[in-house]
Amino acid sequence: MSAPRVTALLVVHDGATWLSEVVASLASQSVPPNQVFAIDTGSLDASVKLLKGARIPVATISRESGFGAAVAHGITQLPALIKDSEEWIWILHDDCELHPAALESLLAAIADRPSVVMAGPKLLGWHNRTNLIELGISIATNGARWTGLEPLEYDQGQHDGVTEVLSVSTAGALIRRDVFEELGGFDQNLELFRDDVDFGWRVRVAGHSVIAVSDAIGYHAQASATERRSVDVQGAFLHRPLLLDRRNAAYVLLANSSVWSLPGLIFTLFAGAILRSVGYLFAKLPGYASDEILAIGSLIIHPTELLSARKFRKQHRLISPRVVNAFVPSRISQLRSSISRLASTLRSVVLPHSPSRELPIISDLEINEDEDLLTPVLRTPWRTLFYRPMVIAASIITLVSLSWARHRFGPLAGGALAESPASFRDLIKLYISSWHDVGMGSAQSTPTWVLVIAIASLLFFGNVSVFITIFFLTAPLILLLSAHRYLKKFTDNQWLSAGASLLYALSPVAIASVNGGRLGVLVFMALLPFLMRQFHAWAEIDRWSWRSIFGYSLFIWFLLSFNPSVLLILFVGSTLTIFGDFRKASNDYRNQLFLERLKRRLTLLILPFLLSAPASLGVLLNPTRILREIGLSVSGGGPNLAILANPGGPGSLPWWCLSPIVAILLVAYFSTTAARKFAVPGITFLLCGTLISVAVIPGNGTLLNAQVSVGTFIAIATLFSLTSGVVMFDKIRSRLEQSHINYRHISVALILALTLVYSATSLSWLVTAGADSPLRTGQKNVLPAYLAIEKSAKSLVLRPYIRSGEQTLSYYISRGRDITLGEVDVAPADTEVISRAVEGLIDNTGVTSSEVLATYGIKYVYLKNPIIDEVVQTIDGLGGFIRTSATKAGIVWKVSEATGRIILTDYAGEVSIIEATGISAIVPRPGTLTLTESFSKGWRIYQDGFTAARIEDRDGLPTFEITNAGEVTIFHDGTQRRAWISFFMIVLVTVIVLALPSGRRKSEISEKELA
């Protein structure tokens, strides 16, 4: 049998940069093609001149002609196909150099494979010729070009061989001419990009085979795909390569897939386009984002193209389109590839490649690899791992925590931490809801930390309780690692940085926060070292890039959402610094440096404030909120403990466990200038915290006053103290050895002694009395189970407590269950009328207490143990209350007067209780409808398509005039809440986009980077 005839068709478009190497590679083929013919699409450079200089025939066509049109024109210039002859077309790009044995290898591969009508080479990079680009191609269901290779995969022959594939790139593709003409060549609607995949698909369903041959090698520059030259084809809208590529990808899938798979493909293509466009927007590439959307839109407005294409393909289809399923990547493969790319990207960010890690070869001697077999391998015993300071510190933390947390292995509650809801969905619902069934009801906006906890709990499949438990169990270890990452940059002494980090993790404020369930302070302490790393350059903020300003605005907002007092610190700090900048600028407000710093400082102040709205706006109306911690209100220990760097409160260290924090600050203040730089702000925050701890403010959702807990201020003072200590003690031994005994020796000895004493006393207390903390698992429900049967019924829960040495009562209103995480932060303040009614139960003046409670829909009164006998006798004797049960948990009375959530008073004065089903209720007659909920402008009642008139009655309850009997719809309008959530999302996304690094168009990436 005679050798097949091969015609090389070289398509050229402004390819002078690569054309010399391409032409040379053609001339050096071990088996040269029978003829070479070039088609130039209106090149403006020296391409045609180079081709003529190489004596290659050239035909020039319009510059707007597509690749398929160029190949079709080239075939028309060839002699007619001779019957029963074997002729092949070798399609070449002007940016693809071929290995000298490329054509020979392709012909050898097809020689004994008569079913193969299309074969292609292994494509490597043009600049880095060890990088695999393609060895056969396919297309994913989302339109992505699929090669099955890792990004920049190194070619080690791991994919070598002759492989059946869906298609091969047109760069170096060898196609049998009769089949090419029979199938109509390349689709003219695919002027550039994806025409190779489309043709390979059509070859497959026509019953033929396509192979990739690794012995045939090409070096492809991918000039059009990487935007190294303009895309001038007629169908390229705005000459955008990505838009044309995405449009053609969708075209290929929709034109070739079976009918039953089209709905799923359309959804996948739309979803993929939207997700990619969002990603491009985050990367600040709006042009690429618009390309994704316009690509799909351009197909929608030209449906006839797809219909004609499907009709044409049906005429040449011999087998089912499902035959290509073996070559289309599965969703699992796509997911695995995406995860791999994401991991690679994160690895390059977290562990950037450093040229210094590559050890250069400094010897010219020939390397004898056999000598390595004779060289003994130095092995480090595994036990030396435990000699490392941080490993020892982590081991101490772990061992102490196991004993310290022995009562915390399970769902946690107690102290400032309310019990966790059943699922993250409950927190999401709490965040987005405009009305909260807490106490008498609340329309307050839920703080954003609730949303953060809900999202974070997804790490544990939405189990909020597990997330909270693990966070509190690992909090000391997290603090250790966080502090060490910050402190190690101040010293090369690993023992010093590890010891200081251990002291931070077991500081009085850390212990009090863990034992007291202070979630906000713990989150603040864990993230504070990361914030401090940047804020050393706070005075020279003009040197910060705007991207870092937006990034730190997000960081401060995150801290602010868990600690409202951060806003006070930020405001005071910014004000003082701006005033200092103004003085440095010689009181010239037009000074350029002053203005640059002012803009950055105001941005850091305003953006967190806006992101925290409307909660931050509430601080302006009620300034005491800025000193509250999140969660249940728990008093601090007052100034006597605060001055010792101990916030006090339930679960805190006793006063006799004196930490060295204050001593380090005082010694560092009189030490070196470097240490004093950290001691001064540390002392400032400690004194501010001490002064603020004197204040007494109302707690969350209650009129009961509580001393301010200043954990945030003491945490900052603690970290400043330890930083100054590390700076002061760094290389202290050499300095002391060079001087006579003086006050420095004495002060160092005192600090070391105090540290050792604190370590011994605090650790002993932690593993004994400290383990019996307010935060623990197995907390009993406050409300008895039988009161939880009526979900909508309100119960007044009375709890005895000691105030000023006298026993008195506190109260809260329950709705069939105990309060959960986040609800206390949106709980309404106590109602004065109800408070007076409760006082009447104590001092025997509450003759109308039962009527008041009924007015507000309170159905039961529950007095929790320990029982106060005088209160029991008073309630029994007042009248209006019926005792229903008395158990070890407490005593329950029912309010004798009929009450409920919806009360109807008709025009005759008759009062009746209306039962509701969901948001609907049946009103038997006209009258005034009263909701026993806190008044809010969001309450609405619709009847017969009209809104009932709403007023606030004298008891502060919403009332509505119902003019007709019938069904009414009662709901709380969440328009305002949705508006705030929308505002938050817009600001958040904007700041995130501004904080992220800008992406680069492919044309902006250097060829070296691409390689």
% of residues, the chain, pLDDT over 70: 91
Residue 350 has pLDDT above 60, yes or no: no
Q: Could you tell me the pLDDT band of residue 540, with boundaries at 50, 70 and 90?
A: confident
- The per-type count for the chain, helices as H runs and strands as E runs, is 34, 31
Q: Could you tell me the pLDDT band of residue 1009, with boundaries at 50, 70 and 90?
A: low
Are 797 and 814 in contact, with CB atoms under 8 Å apart? yes
pLDDT score for 356: 42
Residue 1005 has pLDDT above 70, yes or no: no
Which residues lie closer than 8 Å to 510 by C-beta, 6 or more apart? 475, 476, 479, 504, 522, 525, 715
What is the arithmetic mean of pLDDT over 410-418?
89
Residue 201 has pLDDT above 70, yes or no: yes
Residue 1002 has pLDDT above 70, yes or no: no
- CA dist 877 and 258 (Å) reads 83
pLDDT score for 383: 61
Task: Give the model confidence (pLDDT) of 970-984 as tens digits.
Answer: 999 989 999 999 999
Residue 367 has pLDDT above 50, yes or no: no
Could you give the dihedral angle defined by the CA atoms of residues 81, 83, 84 and 85, in that order, rounded to the nearest 10 degrees? -30
902-973 under CATH 1.10.150, yes or no: no
Which residues lie closer than 8 Å to 947 by C-beta, 6 or more apart? 940, 941
What is the arithmetic mean of pLDDT over 523-551?
88
Picking from 261, 268, 266, 256, the residue whose alpha carbon sits closest to that of residue 299 is 266
- CA dist 284 and 994 (Å) reads 8
pLDDT score for 373: 46
Q: Could you tell me the pLDDT band of residue 363, with boundaries at 50, 70 and 90?
A: very low
Q: What's the full length of the chain, in residues?
A: 1011
Phi-psi map region of 984: left, alpha, beta (phi>0 left; psi -120 to 50 alpha): alpha
Give the helix/strand (H/E) hosting 928: strand 927-931
Maximum average pLDDT range among 365-379, 495-509, 944-958? 495-509
- CA dist 89 and 565 (Å) reads 75
Residue type, 388: R
Picking from 640, 715, 726, 647, the residue whose alpha carbon sits closest to that of residue 685 is 715
Domain boundaries, the chain: 5-313+323-342, 447-771, 780-895, 902-973
Residue 77 has pLDDT above 60, yes or no: yes
pLDDT score for 690: 94
What is the arithmetic mean of pLDDT over 640-664?
91
- CA dist 554 and 604 (Å) reads 9
Task: Give the model confidence (pLDDT) of 297-315 as tens digits.
Answer: 888 888 888 899 999 988 8
Burial class for 799, CB neighbours closer than 10 Å (0-12, 13-18, 19+) = middle
Neighbouring C-beta atoms of residue 943, cutoff 10 Å: 19
Q: Could you tell me the pLDDT band of residue 481, with boundaries at 50, 70 and 90?
A: very high
What is the arithmetic mean of pLDDT over 555-565?
93
pLDDT score for 123: 95
Instruction: Give exposure, 605-629, as e/b (b: 16+ Cβ within 10 Å).
Output: bebbbbbbebbbebbeeeeebbbbb
pLDDT score for 719: 95
Q: Could you tell me the pLDDT band of residue 281, with boundaries at 50, 70 and 90?
A: confident
Mean pLDDT, the chain, integer: 86
Residue 368 has pLDDT above 70, yes or no: no
Task: Give the model confidence (pLDDT) of 41-53 as tens digits.
Answer: 999 999 999 999 9
Are 447 and 491 in contact, with CB atoms under 8 Å apart? no
Fold of 5-313+323-342: Spore Coat Polysaccharide Biosynthesis Protein SpsA; Chain A (3.90.550)
Residue 238 has pLDDT above 80, yes or no: no
Residue 1 has pLDDT above 70, yes or no: no
User: Which has more confidence, 869 or 31?
Assistant: 31
Q: Could you tell me the pLDDT band of residue 211, with boundaries at 50, 70 and 90?
A: very high
Task: Give the model confidence (pLDDT) of 757-783 as tens digits.
Answer: 999 999 999 989 888 889 888 767 777
- Residue ranges of alpha helices (H) inside 768-801 are none
Residue 6 has pLDDT above 50, yes or no: yes
From first CA to last CA, the distance across the chain in angstroms is 43
Residue 506 has pLDDT above 50, yes or no: yes
pLDDT score for 252: 92
pLDDT score for 700: 64
In the block, residue with structure tokens 């006090």 = 648
Are 517 and 419 in contact, with CB atoms under 8 Å apart? no
Residue 665 has pLDDT above 80, yes or no: yes
In the block, residue with structure tokens 């390349």 = 186
State both tokens at 281. Answer: 């927007």
- CA dist 711 and 645 (Å) reads 9
- CA dist 793 and 853 (Å) reads 12
- CA dist 320 and 759 (Å) reads 76
Hey, which residues does 799 pair with through a beta bridge? 810
pLDDT score for 802: 61
pLDDT score for 372: 47
Task: Give the model confidence (pLDDT) of 147-197 as tens digits.
Answer: 888 878 888 888 899 999 999 999 999 999 999 999 999 998 898 899 999
pLDDT score for 703: 55
pLDDT score for 364: 43
- CA dist 252 and 244 (Å) reads 12
Are 611 and 473 in contact, with CB atoms under 8 Å apart? no
Task: Give the model confidence (pLDDT) of 866-885 as tens digits.
Answer: 777 888 888 888 888 888 88
